[in-house]
Amino acid sequence: MTNTIERTAPPLSYTGPSEPSSWTTYLEQVDRVTPYLKGLARWVETLKHPKRAMIVDIPIEMDDGRVRHFEGFRVQHNLSRGPGKGGVRFHPHVTLQETMALAAWMTIKTAAMDLPFGGAKGGVRVNPQSLTQNELEKLTRRYTSEISIIIGPQKDIPAPDVNTNAQIMAWMMDTYSMHAGFTSSGVVTGKPVHLGGSLGRVKATGRGVFVTGREAAGRLGMDITGARVALQGFGNVGSAAAELFASAGAKVIAIQDQWGSLIDERGIDVRSLASATSGIAGIGGSPNLNDAFWDVPCDILILAALESQMTAERARRTRAKLVLEGANGPTLPDADDILADRDILVVPDVICNAGGVTVSYFEWVQDFSSFFWSEDEINARLDKLMVESLRKIWACADRNKISLRTGTYVIACERILAARQERGLYP
């Protein structure tokens, strides 16, 4: 962390045309599933309205004595099936609409996995790399304090997302516990293991990408051994997925991160890259290859960076046979149609990256019972749950002759809307 102070971003217009399109993408995905929901379609509007959205001001005193204000959000999209669940993102582009979309995808994801949660998400518009460790801790604690009235082990349980990690979860847990007057380990997941975190949580999302990718490759008759993998995003999700594919004999031939791309048909040593602190640029990657990345002949393309990366133009260019959505919302709806027309199989985010929330569920359960499982037990339960969920989704997609994404939405929306119908409307 350096000592440079970030310029606070100007306030955004929350619903203006310049907002990212993730919420629009999500709404379109809901429209696509509606014809398959039969009688439950009566309730579908509930999915288009977040239950609760909180905007908070986060003033902190920087190390040089100045006071800066940052804007934060916590959105609880739907709580019909249980407490809210979803990560916290620290990123300069965080907006309310993006957070709404990410919360909504959590609603779909927890239901697709049949976990007893609703969907939520949080974020702070900040470039965390520009903060010192002291400033980052203050920002995290003030944000937690501001949203503490709506989070809690039975209400809404945050977790790590882009640019947040176990240390930030430890600060969140401590701040919430100070308010509560007792240690509340179940208020967040993704904590350090000795604070009630779960073994296997750090790599769980990448592991889920691997498990669903392995199953999908099997359906395509594709052998993982020797399969060529291209990967966008080499953070928590991307690096864990890359390591598992490499261990299974696949060859990672292209990696792109926010600083550049590296392409090497002989294969990239992903284990040595995992310890490089300066990303792709530190091992010979270059921004000049960023465009060429999308033309690389590969069997599997893993999208593990951010939303809206697979545009229609890139969907026409990709040479992959299988696309794995490790990131949330990486494919725009028109790109989805092009990939389908080209017979390129897409494993959608709402099942592909559900490994993280599944092990977060395990962590929450372990915290409640104060009884902890071994890493092998966790990995085995994760593998089993993901394979079972994916098989049910696949059967639904085959039955209705629809894409795997729409199939996942059918299964998830049926569960959410049945809960809505059974609970009824209050008052």
Q: How far is the CB of 65 from ligand NAD (least distance, A)?
A: 30
Task: Judge if the upstream peptide bond of residue 287 is cis by omega within 30 degrees of 0.
Answer: no
Among 364, 398, 387, CA closest to 84: 364
**In the complex, what is the shortest distance from the CB of residue 200 to ligand NAD, in angstroms, rounded to a whole number?**
12
Calpha distance 144→289 (Å, rounded):
40
Contact between 205 and ligand NAD per CB under 6 A:
yes
Residue 198 binds to ligand NAD (criterion: CB under 6 A): no
Task: Tell me the number of residues near ligand NAD by CB under 6 A.
Answer: 24
> Shortest approach of ligand NAD to residue 31 CB, angstroms?
22
110 part of the interface to ligand NAD, by CB under 6 A: no
Interaction with ligand NAD in 130-169: which residues (CB under 6 A)? 160-163
Which of 19, 257, 299, 367 lies at the binding interface for ligand NAD (CB under 6 A)? 257
The residue number whose beta carbon is nearest to ligand NAD equals 235
- Bond into 116 cis (ω within 30): no
Instruction: Give least dist CB 244 to ligand NAD, A.
Output: 14
H or E segment to which residue 110 belongs: helix 96-112
> Tokens 């590969």, residue?
298
Binding span for ligand NAD by CB under 6 A among 110-118, 169-177, 222-230, 298-306: 298-306
CB of 242 to ligand NAD, least distance (A): 11
Please identify, among the stretches 180-188, 262-270, 302-310, 335-343, the one whose residues bind ligand NAD according to the rule CB under 6 A. Answer: 302-310
According to DSSP, residue 65 is labeled S
Given the rule CB under 6 A, which of 135-143, 251-259, 315-323, 338-346 is the region that contacts ligand NAD?
A: 251-259
Residues in 44-83 at the binding interface with ligand NAD, rule: CB under 6 A: none
Q: Is residue 258 near ligand NAD by the rule CB under 6 A?
A: yes
By the rule CB under 6 A, 306 interacts with ligand NAD: yes
3-state secondary structure at position 321: coil
Assign 267 to helix, strand or coil: coil
- Structure tokens that stand for 20 in this block: 């990212």
Give the integer Cα–Cα distance in Å for 403 and 387: 18
- Per CB under 6 A, the list member of 29, 185, 256, 379 interacting with ligand NAD is 256
| φ, ψ (nearest 5 deg) of residue 20 | -60, 155
Distance between CA atoms of 295 and 44, rounded to whole angstroms? 39
Q: Report d(CA 209, CA 252) in Å as an integer.
A: 15
Quickly count: other Cβ atoms within 10 Å of residue 397's Cβ.
Answer: 18
Question: Of the listed pieces 236-244, 268-276, 370-378, 391-399, which binds ligand NAD according to CB under 6 A?
Answer: 236-244
Enzyme catalytic residues:
121
Residues 314-343 that bind ligand NAD (CB under 6 A): 326-328
Question: Which residue number, 257 or 336, has a Cβ lying nearer to ligand NAD?
Answer: 257
> Which token pair is 294?
């999308």
* Other Cβ atoms within 10 Å of 299 Cβ, number: 21
Q: How far is the CB of 282 from ligand NAD (least distance, A)?
A: 12
> Could you give phi then psi for residue 85, rounded to 5 degrees?
-145, 130
Q: Which stretch binds ligand NAD (CB under 6 A): 48-56, 167-175, 212-220, 255-263?
A: 255-263
CB of 39 to ligand NAD, least distance (A): 32
What is the C-alpha to C-alpha distance for residues 247 and 224, in angstroms, rounded to an integer? 10
Options 166-174, 235-243, 244-252, 368-376: segment touching ligand NAD (CB under 6 A): 235-243
CA–CA distance, 311 with 15 (Å, rounded to integer): 22
For residues 330 and 234, what is the distance between their CA atoms, to the nearest angstrom? 15
SS3 content of the chain, % helix, strand, coil (to 5): 50, 15, 35
Q: Site mask, ligand NAD, residues 348-387, x = CB under 6 A?
A: -----x--x-------------------------------
Query: Using the rule CB under 6 A, is 237 a contact of ligand NAD?
Result: yes
Helices (H), 59-95: none
Q: Would you count residue 232 as binding ligand NAD (CB under 6 A)? A: yes
Detail the DSSP E strand segments found in 197-326.
228-232, 251-257, 260-263, 300-303, 322-325
> Binding residues for ligand NAD, per CB under 6 A?
160-163, 205, 232-238, 256-258, 279, 304-306, 326-328, 353, 356
